[in-house]
Amino acid sequence: MKDVTDKNFGVLIAFWLPGFLLLWGLSYSSDEIATWLAKPSVKDAPTIGGFLYATLASLALGLLISAIRWLVVDSFLHHVTGPKYPDIDFAKLKDKDAFAVFQGAVENHYRYYQYYSNTLVAVIGAFGFYIYARGLPSFLTWCVVIAIGVALLLASHDCLNNYYKRVAEIAA
């Protein structure tokens, strides 16, 4: 993989990291996945194949999470109760300066929205797999997971709202 740049950083945070969180949650109920994510030791060090599987699975899960996010978070949580999608005149984006500003809004607001909301879905999924494999956790664990979920939901709402404001300024 090439160095992390502004061209691929958004993919890393929006899809790969949430996918990895869900993969980590799946590792509690799958021995095969657990071996991909094993802590390195002389006896059972992760293999290159395991690293590749974990990387590809994280990206694939991240894209699946994004679809679930669109269905649940975008359609119900934000668009029913939150910011409204602005009317965008995409013809204005033919100007290369306007398009560059639009891309900046995507990278500086929408990618973070995707990260926060995709991570919300991933945390809920990972926690569900953890409960399935290990049983009900302590009250403190529930409180921490709920607090993380609320923080992610509020952060995603804020980023989406900022993205819509910037896009409306650029192309409305």
What pLDDT, on the 0 to 100 scale, is given for residue 4? Answer: 67
Quote the CA–CA distance of 161 and 172 in Å, as a whole number. Answer: 15
Rg (alpha carbons) of the chain, rounded to whole number: 19
Structural domain containing residue 28:
9-171
Structural domain includes residue 145 = yes
Structural domain includes residue 1 = no
Quote the CA–CA distance of 72 and 7 in Å, as a whole number. Answer: 27
Quote the CA–CA distance of 162 and 165 in Å, as a whole number. Answer: 5
Is-contact 87 172, C-beta < 8 A? yes
Structural domain includes residue 2 = no
Work out whether the CA dihedral 153, 36, 26, 71 comes out positive or negative.
positive
Please list the ranges in the chain whose pLDDT falls under 50.
1, 42
Structural domain includes residue 132 = yes
Q: What is the pTM of this model?
A: 0.88
Structurally, how many domains does the chain consist of? 1
Structural domain includes residue 3 = no
Structural domain includes residue 59 = yes
What pLDDT, on the 0 to 100 scale, is given for residue 47? Answer: 75
What pLDDT, on the 0 to 100 scale, is given for residue 40? Answer: 58
Quote the CA–CA distance of 14 and 27 in Å, as a whole number. Answer: 21
Is-contact 78 160, C-beta < 8 A? yes
Is-contact 100 166, C-beta < 8 A? no
Helix (H) or strand (E) holding 90: none
Structural domain includes residue 90 = yes
What pLDDT, on the 0 to 100 scale, is given for residue 6? Answer: 66
